[in-house]
Amino acid sequence: MRSIAEPRRAIVSCKHIFSSYASDCSTLTSSYRSTKRRLNGNISNAKVFQISFDDERKFLVNNDKLLRTSLDPLSPSFYSHHHEETMPSDIRYQSETSDYGSCSTDPEQQFSPILFNNDNQSSFSFSIINNNNNRRSKSSSSSSSSSLSSYESNHKIICSCGKENFQTRKRYKRYMRKTSYESYQTKRIKTNYRSKYRKQNFNNSLIKFSIDLTAIQPPPTRSWLRLSSPNTTQPTAIFTVMNYNILCDKYATRHVYGYCPSWALKWDYRRKQILEELRSYSADIIALQEIETDQFYSFFLPELQKNGYDGVFSPKSRAKTMCEQDRRYVDGCAIFYRQSKFRLIKEYLVEFNQLAMLAANGTSCHDMMNRVMTKDNIGLVAFLETKEEIYSHTFSNGVLPSDHRQMLFVCTAHIHWDPEYCDVKVVQTFMLLSELKSIMDDAIQKHRPNLNTSVDCATVPLVLCGDFNSLPDSGVIELMRTGKISMNHADFKDLCYDSYLKKYCRLDEDLTPSNDIIHHFKLQSAYETTATSPIMPYTNYTYDFKGIIDYVFYSTQLMRVLGVLGPLDPEWLQTNKIVGCPHPNVPSDHFSLLVEFELNPTSNENLKNSTISISTRRQ
């Protein structure tokens, strides 16, 4: 028999006591949950701990240490050998009174709440069943295990798996099925609640973001900067040109533009804003970059035709190697013109990879083929002719010039983007300028037969705009502005392009080739900037880059700039903490450029005189 002085012991033999009790009890404390997670995560070995139990009070007392157990009844080692460790009798236990201690409906089976706590760790509580009424049924067991069996039957912590008590295995199996079903129902309810809670949080976040978005006022209207006044002494052709990189849909990804909401990056949302911006400025000529083939034919062209525009388009060179389905998503360049003011005579395409293959000879073969030819950027040229309505403005007083049909070449290009290929950018730009010279000669020969074949390109009105992906201090812009660039320029990176560039070298006074390559266009940027006060501080505005890479160049001898569209209000960007575009109020990472030009009415006379002088020199 057990000694009177021997302390009563309760067996804690299964970690599932925590999960089973969680499903049976209706209320759980946060401390119990946190400790339960910590204990379940650390259980690795199958051990049985026996703790002192007070028979009179029916709960543990005088405990101020955490009960640490690591049990796994599903492991074979649990049944092969039990490691019994008796807690010292001098351990102090602390009781806790709780309402969930009476979960059982049987008045003779009452749960005694026990609190195990530590000074430095959070506590948890659960209950022990004292089955005094089951002593008679248990007394029929063998005498060899009478004391332990009697002890186990009297004070046992219910385990939902029911595997450690073989005598009541069937009974607990039924209870296990019920508990498993109840646990499943509980988990299902919790899962549904969490899903509903997540949706509610998402809706609340979306509402909060919408509220924050409405707090951001739309950007103020960009100011118009008047630079000069029109000529009032004689009728002149006045027209506006807009340049805009609209950011192709396949490039507008969350990986690159993570600061922009995903719904504001969607093409259906952005294209409406882009179209609205094009219509609001109502430019006579619109040059677009990064416009997809399918979007040009299915959206922009039909929509702008409603406003009296017509347009030309060409995708990048890679489209030629694709099937019809994939070709639809290749981006390219487009030029729209107002049909009431211009008539399209012919369009021309400049493919840099094709020109690179033709120029790949001699020492420049390797670099030209491996660096320039692999880039499929393009340029698009539209040969336009003015109509009478272009003179119907307030300054002309309704008077037409003697020769109101004036020529105008409009070119847009998208130069390679990678800063590591600055040499490719310079070569592509020079190819574009040299090809423009050939296009002008061809166009005048076919469509102006009364003029001689060779013309001075400086006497032909030209608007050259696009995304050049080059800063104002780069070799590309130096070539465009000054008309020359040294073959030893740093942007060439000491690569071998000599055999191609030497054909365009300038001749010195002693007729020896110099080290500079030149072009004969007299070009200037409409947004001519200085280091102290730039008109546009940036045309590309993203999180990690802000700078001027878009330009509108024009022939200085034949055209004048009357005004330009100013930048987006920097105070609005700073106040609303806009770190980059696109933005719900700005559909692209580029800002549009808008310039008003006045075409010199004597441009055709200058063209005739230049052709006559050239032919005279040849004779």
The DSSP annotation for 431-490 comes to HHHHHHHHHHHHHHHHH-TTS-S---GGGS-EEEEEE----TTSHHHHHHHHSEEETT-G
Question: What's the pLDDT at 178?
Answer: 46
558: number of Cβ within 10 Å: 25
pLDDT score, position 233: 82
Say if 66 falls within a structural domain.
no
Asked if residue 332 lies in contact with residue 293, where contact means CB atoms within 8 angstroms, the answer is yes
3-state DSSP assignment of residue 288? strand
Number of domains composing the chain: 1
Q: At what angle do helices 422-447 and 475-482 cross, to 10 degrees?
A: 30
Q: Would you say residue 180 has pLDDT above 60?
A: no
By residue range, what is the domain housing residue 482? Answer: 225-616
Pairwise CA distance, residues 170 & 249, whole Å: 65
Any domain includes 295: yes
Q: How far apart are CA 491 and CA 141, in angstroms?
A: 96
Task: Output 8 or 195, whichever has higher pLDDT.
Answer: 195
More confident residue, 458 or 111: 458
Task: Report the percentage of the chain scoring pLDDT > 70.
Answer: 57
Is 526 part of any domain?
A: yes
- pLDDT category at 444 given cuts 50, 70, 90 is confident
pLDDT confidence band for 33 (50 / 70 / 90): low
In a domain, 11, yes or no: no
pLDDT for the residue 445? 84
- What backbone phi and psi angles, to 5 degrees, belong to 153? -70, -30
Which range scores top for mean pLDDT: 126-140, 274-288, 594-608?
274-288
513 lies in some domain: yes
User: How would residue 154 be classed by pLDDT, with cut points 50, 70 and 90?
Assistant: very low
Structure tokens given for 535: 């008109």
DSSP state of 494: T
**Euclidean distance between the first and the last CA atom of the chain, given in angstroms as a whole number:** 137
Lowest mean pLDDT among 182-191, 341-350, 579-588, 594-603: 182-191
- Alpha-carbon radius of gyration of the chain: 42
What is the enclosing helix (H) or strand (E) of 84?
strand 84-86
Please tell me the predicted confidence (pLDDT) of residue 221.
93
When pLDDT is cut at 50, 70 and 90, the band that residue 5 belongs to is: very low
pTM of the model: 0.65
Given the structure tokens 């639809």, which residue do they identify? 328
For range 251-278, the mean pLDDT: 95
- Mean pLDDT within 57-70: 44
Least confident of 136-150, 255-269, 278-292, 341-355: 136-150
Query: Which of the two residues, 573 and 84, has the higher pLDDT score?
Result: 573
Q: How far apart are CA 143 and CA 135, in angstroms?
A: 14
pLDDT band of 364, cuts 50, 70, 90: low
Under a CB-based contact definition with an 8 Å cutoff, are residues 367 and 406 in contact? no
Beta bridge partners of 546: 541
Contacts of 356 (CB under 8 A, 6+ apart): 368, 369, 372, 373, 427, 431
Please compute the mean of the pLDDT values over residues 123-151 and round it to a whole number: 43
**pLDDT value, residue 448:** 73
Residue type present at position 36: K
Of 75-79, 116-120, 444-448, least confident by mean pLDDT is: 116-120
| Average confidence (pLDDT) over 414-439 | 95
pLDDT surpassing 90 at residue 373:
yes
Is the pLDDT score of 89 beyond 50?
A: no
CATH of the domain at 352: 3.60.10.10
Instruction: Give the residue carrying structure tokens 């320029």.
Output: 489
Q: Read off the pLDDT of each residue in 408-424 and give the average, rounded to a whole number.
A: 96
Q: What is the pLDDT of residue 428?
A: 96
Average pLDDT over residues 519-545: 86
Confidence of residue 163 (pLDDT cuts 50, 70, 90): very low
Q: Give residue 469's pLDDT band: very low, low, confident or very high (50, 70, 90).
A: very high
Of residues 167, 166, 163, the one with CA closest to residue 176: 163
569 located within any domain:
yes
Answer yes or no: is pLDDT of 134 > 70: no
* Average confidence score pLDDT of the chain: 74
Task: Examine the pLDDT at 212 and tell me if it is beyond 80.
Answer: no
Are 369 and 427 in contact by the 8 Å Cβ rule? The answer is no
Q: Please give the residue that has the higher pLDDT: either 103 or 583.
A: 583
Percent of the chain with pLDDT over 90: 44
* Least reliable range by pLDDT among 7-11, 416-420, 603-607: 7-11
pLDDT the model gives residue 15: 43
Joined together, the tokens standing for residue 551 give 């330009």
More confident residue, 184 or 234: 234
Q: Which has the higher per-residue pLDDT, 374 or 124?
A: 374
Smallest CA-to-CA distance from 456 within 570, 563, 564, 615 is with 615
Asked if the structure places residue 191 within a domain, the reply is: no
pLDDT of 111 > 80? The answer is no
Residue 245: what pLDDT? Answer: 98
pLDDT on residue 250: 94
**Cβ-contact 295, 258 below 8 angstroms:** no
Q: How far is Cα 389 from Cα 36, in angstroms, rounded to an integer?
A: 84
Most confident range, picked from 61-65, 123-127, 485-489: 485-489
The sheet carrying 484-486 orders its strands as 484-486, 513-518, 505-507
C-alpha to C-alpha distance for 505 and 521, rounded to whole angstroms: 15
Residue type at 342 in one-letter notation? F
| Residue 467 backbone class (left: φ over 0; alpha: ψ -120 to 50; beta: rest) | beta
Q: Which one has a higher pLDDT value, 35 or 575?
A: 575
pLDDT reading at 319 higher than 90: yes
Catalytic residue among 24, 456, 467, 550: 467
CB 564 within 8 A of CB 240: no
User: How would residue 218 be classed by pLDDT, with cut points 50, 70 and 90?
Assistant: confident
Crossing angle for the helix pair 422-447 and 352-359, nearest 10 degrees?
Answer: 100
Q: Flag whether 412 is in a domain.
A: yes
Is 418 marked active-site? Answer: no
Torsion angle (degrees, nearest 10) of CA 425, 366, 436, 241: -20
